């Protein structure tokens, strides 16, 4: 009986220790994801063909270097939300994806990163004004 109580206490303290390690680690993982340190491209992609037609048109304009319909197209995107991989300021540029019936630029954008805007390293699509992104894949 004594041995069973001691082993049960040891198991309980191992469980408490494991729970406290997990409780400390999980918020750090969430913070790292929020800072853009963990990019899960496998779950966050969209094929060019699956973009809305306006997104496909914007993507083609990016690759041909314009001309763009909005003055803000091609302006620096600051990645303040830190949802995209961390890069130096000026790496990302944003482009408007037209939204039918919107009175303004709408919420849809393509954000591309790289040294040369017409040959980006990667592009990302957001339909909710930077709350989430999906990497654009061929």
Task: Identify whether the C-beta of residue 94 lies closer than 8 Å to the C-beta of residue 111.
Answer: yes
Q: Which residue among the candidates 33, 81, 98, 129 is catalytic per the annotation? A: 129
Q: Which of 33, 70, 81, 94 is catalytic?
A: 94
81 is catalytic: no
Q: Do 109 and 60 meet the contact criterion of CB atoms below 8 Å apart?
A: no
Closest CA to 125 of 73, 52, 68: 52
The DSSP output letter for 94 is E
Is 94 noted as a catalytic residue in this protein?
Answer: yes
In sequence order, the 6+-apart residues with CB closer than 8 A to the CB of 26 are none
Active site residue ranges: 94, 129
């Amino acid at each position: 009986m004594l041995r069973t109580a001691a082993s049960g206490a040891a198991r309980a303290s191992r469980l408490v220790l494991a729970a406290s390690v997990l409780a400390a680690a999980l918020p750090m993982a969430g913070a790292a994801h929020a800072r853009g340190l963990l990019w899960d491209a496998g779950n966050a992609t969209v094929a060019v063909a699956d973009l809305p037609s306006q997104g496909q048109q914007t993507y083609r304009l990016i690759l041909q270097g314009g001309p763009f319909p909005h003055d803000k197209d091609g302006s620096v995107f600051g990645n303040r939300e830190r949802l995209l991989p961390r890069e130096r300021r000026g790496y990302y540029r944003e482009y408007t994806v037209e939204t039918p019936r919107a009175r303004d630029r709408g919420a849809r954008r393509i954000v591309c990163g790289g040294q040369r805007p017409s040959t980006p390293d990667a592009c990302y699509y957001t339909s909710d004004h930077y709350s989430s992104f999906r990497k654009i894949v061929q």
